[in-house]
Structure 1
Amino acid sequence: MKAPICLIENLATGKLVVKPEAIEVLSKITQPVVVVAVVGLYRTGKSYLMNKLAGANKGFNLGSTVQSETKGIWIWCIPHPQKSDRTLVLLDTEGLGDVEKGDCKNDVWIFSLALLLSSVLVYNSRGTIDQDALDKLKFVGDVSNLIKVKAGKKKEENEEDYSTHFPIFIWAVRDFHLELIIDGKPVTADDYMENALRLKRVKPNKKLSKQDEEFNKVRKVVRNYFGKRKCFTFALPTADKQILHKLDEASDSQLNSEFVAQSKKFCKYIFKNAKVKRLDVTVTVNGERLCELAKIYTEAICTSKIACMEDAVVSLSDKENQRAVQEAVQYYQDKMKEFELPTETTAEFFNASKQYEEEARKLFMEKSFRDTDHRFLKEFMINLLNIANEFCAMNEKLSQEICEALIKKHSADFEQALLDGTFLKSGGHVMYMESLLKIEIAYNKESGKGVKGEEVLQNYLKSKKCIELSIIQEDNALSQREREKAGEEIRKQTEEMEKKIRKMEEENLAQKLEQEKTSLQQTIKDLMEKNNEERKLMEEKIAEVLRQKEREREAYMKEAASKEVQDLQRKIDELNRKMDNRSPCVIL
């Protein structure tokens, strides 16, 4: 994309709609996406940071007046600057608190969508992290009324549930002019933010006042919702108002060197630490899936006023799993159509079928997710088996037709001689056998007969045994004893031929059954590998959340917040139990 386009338009009516142009762009991105969204009050320089991440001065509209420029949510997709296997997706959101809009409900919608779609959420504010700045973060507390993690009214969830699925939280403090010193000691920007998020302490045998409870509320929400937090402070870009109003035209040399260095540090951190967007912890999101999520969440928020993450997973998985079945089966079908039939042997056919089946299965496994009870996997396997059987039958039919045509070609004179009674005379049996042998030799010299080559020949030879008995009876050159002996030999040969034909059919069936067995075993193996991969991702996420909760508990202990320590300890115990069980648990 050479420039950003609107992803979610904020109509004058207050309704949010996903733009078709953005859908078209996103649907073409097959790589995993790293999604960075910026939110915050209008006219605080959010767009500038997004442009820096894109490696450009111009892109998202900066604006230089008191009016908000960005409406809705705009998107810019670019190659990741450091990781070639993924795409960086930047989301610039409409400024919160726009006096011209006058609808705080709409602000919460925009904030919630940015939060749901991103793997990194940048909160942009100006000045310092004080009570006023925290009060403006009221949107975080409101999202629990708009975003649900679990489906169903009866399912309880707490703030810790959100932290498992919410993005990295980065607080970007703009135009920061204070020294990073607390209690006479220099601190980092992270220390500064965490100090601002400290709770009011409860005095012994006292209860918090309502004012103190409100003071703690937003802090607890931020800490519990966002387990991984980071803070960056930015100096004023320049004291020159003319340059400040045209930052998109300014070079680094025209800006405050400290601000330039801080901007580079901010970008470097995101490029290194921002992870691929995942759904349900284990599902990698690409452009197409991000597009579907945008549509699902926007529609849910604007209609039901509730965006449920689990419902979105189910809705998206049903649609993608059905498509995975269709695409994987179609892949196998297309490959088999390209394969030349008939094959010379059944093994050759099954080897090709097995290869394409494995490729189709891999495609299905890559595209499917959260396949409850393996419903779609079963559908894929049944469809694949049916189509494989159709191709197997086609392989046999083509071979049958070719072989029957060859027999007809080489036996034309022989068949005519039978009609003419040529062999019904003295010495006719010897002539009959010589003629039949010539047909067999000529037929066997033919190539490209396929899997039915021997079976068709044996059936043809067997079909002539009754005629051979008649010829023997009419052959005066043979004695009665020789006729009886020849007749007995023919009956033995007929039985041997029938056994041989049955054996070929049994071997063919055995190969089919073995192929199905091998296919099932490989499917189980692939499924176990996929489950193990998902389990590993889940355990890594649980371990990450566990570390965050332990750090939070230690912080609460220092703040003497006993209730919060107890609540976190319960959550830590629950996470430890999940780790000990080492089961493929689903956090949702």
Structure 2
Amino acid sequence: MPRECIQTYFPWRKCFVFDRPSSRANLQKLEMLEECELEPDFVNQAKAFCDHILGASMPKTLKGGIGVTGFLLAKLAVTYVDAIRCGKIPCLENAVHALAEIENSSAVQMAFQHYKEEINKKADLPTEDQKEMSDLHSQCEKEALHIFMSRSFKDDDQKFQAVLAERIKKEYEDICQKNAEQSKNFCVALLLQMGEDLEYSLENNYYLKPGGYEDFQQDLGNTISQYNEATRKGIKAKETLSDYLKEKDTRGSMILAADKAMTENEKQQKEEQAKVELAKWEAATLDAKLKDTEMQLEDQRSSYNLHIQQLQDKMESDRRKAVQEHERLLNKKLQEQKAMLEQGFKERADQLEAEIRQLRSQGTGRGPCGSFLGNVVRSIGRVFGF
């Protein structure tokens, strides 16, 4: 029975035999001994063991070929031992499931924190346009998703990936809103600064005189030119200017009506010109809004495609690892069966034959079925409204 247990739980094994490290009197203070005080045979055996562990041993894996780091192994051991201490029946599968919940939650937090820190650090608000923000979002999201995929495991229903997608989406919406607000505030302040002389003249009724409308139009044009020459105004540049011109159009109509130097026909022509100019800016503002909205929708489509592609890549990588693990286990069973037959243990060899047939029938090399992928796509799609 002990032999079978060892063979079952340690299918790949290499045995080492160690002599007593030192004299009986020194065993109680073994950790304090210098290497020269140890038996030479033990030192050589220990060196051979360490060389094997560091150079020849395979990385530890869970079922399915999932790699286990030292950190994960420590947590797995604690979870398993705690179950024993609580009087429960220890189950490796349950321990792995509990560990996956903890690690996947941690993977979500680590990936999201990376995204949040990077996009807030690299975003020079207000950005010149929405594309600048979109490109930065795409880069940071890709890095965050890579962090999540490299650390998460057994997220079979993509629950944790969906949580990450939702948090990144919300953070991106928040920073886009912040970007718009900063752009708006900057543009308003810029127009106040560059239109300071114009405002002074309006407050002091400078334009309420013959020929005042022409002076008003000239000063307004200078303000607009200076505003357009300024850089880094952001995505609200056209909208803010359009709002500014609407307000000045009302003042301009009053000045035009009071201008005694113009005939009624000239006033009508000037009024029509002002309306055409204002309509042009309103159309430009609407066009900019539509482009920004389309860019944000494209961001969602790109994020959705990125999540699906990264998930498919991870699933394919996990499948290859599972195939390799399956092949190693099958080869080991075949070697054990051969050894049992050579040693005359026919009953055990027959048991191994049944295990071998079961392994061969499992079809580990097949990829995930269409219905599973469909459920995954729908789970991620719900986050982005698809």
Normalised to the residue count of structure 1, the TM-score between the two structures is: 0.56
Task: Tell me how far apart the structure 2 counterparts of residues 556 and 296 of structure 1 sit (CA, whole Å).
Answer: 35
Describe the superposition over 1:498-538 as per-residue Cα deviations: whole angstroms up to 9, x where unpaired.
22111111111111111222122122222222222211211
Q: Tell whether 2:53 aligns with 1:251.
A: no
Task: Tell me how far apart the structure 1 counterparts of residues 264 and 351 of structure 2 sit (CA, whole Å).
Answer: 105
Counterpart for residue 367 of structure 2: 583
Q: Tell whether 2:129 aligns with 1:336.
A: no
Kindly tell me: are residues 412 and 385 of structure 1, through their superposed partners in 2, closer, same or farther at Cα, counting changes over 3 Å? same
Q: Tell whether 2:105 aligns with 1:322.
A: yes
Q: 1:431 aligns with which of 215, 237, 240?
A: 215
Kindly tell me: are residues 539 and 424 of structure 1, through their superposed partners in 2, closer, same or farther at Cα, counting changes over 3 Å? same
Counterpart for residue 265 of structure 1: 48
Q: 2:252 aligns with which of 468, 472, 482?
A: 468
Q: 1:452 aligns with which of 223, 230, 236?
A: 236
Equivalent residue runs for 1:493-572 within 5 Å: 493-559=277-343, 561-572=345-356
- What is the Cα deviation at residue 235 of structure 1? 6.4
Q: Tell whether 2:210 aligns with 1:392.
A: no
Write out the 4+ residue segments of structure 1 that deviate beyond 6 Å after TM superposition.
Answer: 235-238, 240-247
Matched to 1:390, the amino acid is D
Describe the superposition over 1:424-458 as per-residue Cα deviations: whole angstroms up to 9, x where unpaired.
33322211110101111222343442332233123
Are the counterparts in 2 of residues 539 and 579 from structure 1 also a CA contact under 8 Å?
no
Kindly tell me: are residues 263 and 321 of structure 1, through their superposed partners in 2, closer, same or farther at Cα, counting changes over 3 Å? closer
Counterpart for residue 403 of structure 1: 187
Task: Tell me how far apart the structure 2 counterparts of residues 350 and 370 of structure 1 sit (CA, whole Å).
Answer: 31
Are the counterparts in 1 of residues 322 and 364 from structure 2 also a CA contact under 8 Å?
no
SS of residue matched to 2:15:
strand
Counterpart for residue 294 of structure 1: 77
The structure where helix makes up a greater share of residues is 2
Unaligned runs of 5+ in 1: 1-216
Matched to 1:374, the amino acid is Q
Task: Tell me how far apart the structure 2 counterparts of residues 545 and 219 of structure 1 sit (CA, whole Å).
Answer: 17
Task: Tell me how far apart the structure 2 counterparts of residues 448 and 425 of structure 1 sit (CA, whole Å).
Answer: 38
SS of residue matched to 1:251:
helix
Describe the superposition over 1:325-383 as per-residue Cα deviations: whole angstroms up to 9, x where unpaired.
22222222222332332222222222223222222222222222211311111111111
SS of residue matched to 2:170:
helix
Task: Tell me how far apart the structure 2 counterparts of residues 295 and 263 of structure 1 sit (CA, whole Å).
Answer: 27
Which shifted more, 520-529 or 460-469? Answer: 460-469
- What is the Cα deviation at residue 396 of structure 1? 1.3
- What is the Cα deviation at residue 304 of structure 1? 2.6
Unaligned runs of 5+ in 2: 370-386
- What is the Cα deviation at residue 479 of structure 1? 3.1
Q: Relative contact order (C-alpha < 8 Å, sep 6+): which is higher?
A: 2
Equivalent residue runs for 1:169-318 within 5 Å: 217-233=1-17, 248=33, 251=36, 255=40, 261-318=44-101
Task: Tell me how far apart the structure 2 counterparts of residues 261 and 234 of structure 1 sit (CA, whole Å).
Answer: 9
- What is the Cα deviation at residue 242 of structure 1? 7.7
Are the counterparts in 1 of residues 238 and 281 from structure 2 also a CA contact under 8 Å?
no
Kindly tell me: are residues 360 and 580 of structure 1, through their superposed partners in 2, closer, same or farther at Cα, counting changes over 3 Å? closer
Q: 2:165 aligns with which of 371, 374, 381?
A: 381
SS of residue matched to 2:14:
strand
Counterpart for residue 379 of structure 2: none
Counterpart for residue 365 of structure 1: 149
Matched to 1:489, the amino acid is Q
Are the counterparts in 1 of residues 127 and 133 from structure 2 also a CA contact under 8 Å?
yes
SS of residue matched to 1:372:
coil
Kindly tell me: are residues 465 and 260 of structure 1, through their superposed partners in 2, closer, same or farther at Cα, counting changes over 3 Å? closer
Are the counterparts in 1 of residues 66 and 321 from structure 2 also a CA contact under 8 Å?
no
Describe the superposition over 1:22-45 as per-residue Cα deviations: whole angstroms up to 9, x where unpaired.
xxxxxxxxxxxxxxxxxxxxxxxx
Kindly tell me: are residues 253 and 465 of structure 1, through their superposed partners in 2, closer, same or farther at Cα, counting changes over 3 Å? closer
Task: Tell me how far apart the structure 1 counterparts of residues 74 and 361 of structure 2 sit (CA, whole Å).
Answer: 36
Matched to 1:277, the amino acid is K
Kindly tell me: are residues 244 and 337 of structure 1, through their superposed partners in 2, closer, same or farther at Cα, counting changes over 3 Å? closer
Counterpart for residue 133 of structure 2: 349
Task: Tell me how far apart the structure 2 counterparts of residues 438 and 237 of structure 1 sit (CA, whole Å).
Answer: 92
Are the counterparts in 2 of residues 324 and 368 from structure 1 also a CA contact under 8 Å?
yes
- What is the Cα deviation at residue 236 of structure 1? 7.4
- What is the Cα deviation at residue 584 of structure 1? 5.7
Matched residues, percent identical? Answer: 30
- What is the Cα deviation at residue 581 of structure 1? 4.2
Are the counterparts in 2 of residues 542 and 579 from structure 1 also a CA contact under 8 Å?
no
- RMSD (CA atoms): 3.0
Are the counterparts in 1 of residues 183 and 235 from structure 2 also a CA contact under 8 Å?
yes
Task: Tell me how far apart the structure 2 counterparts of residues 428 and 499 of structure 1 sit (CA, whole Å).
Answer: 28
Which shifted more, 464-473 or 296-305? Answer: 464-473
Task: Tell me how far apart the structure 1 counterparts of residues 13 and 117 of structure 2 sit (CA, whole Å).
Answer: 49
The structure where strand makes up a greater share of residues is 1
Q: Tell whether 2:243 aligns with 1:490.
A: no
Q: How many residues align?
A: 366
Normalised to the residue count of structure 2, the TM-score between the two structures is: 0.83
Matched to 1:297, the amino acid is Y
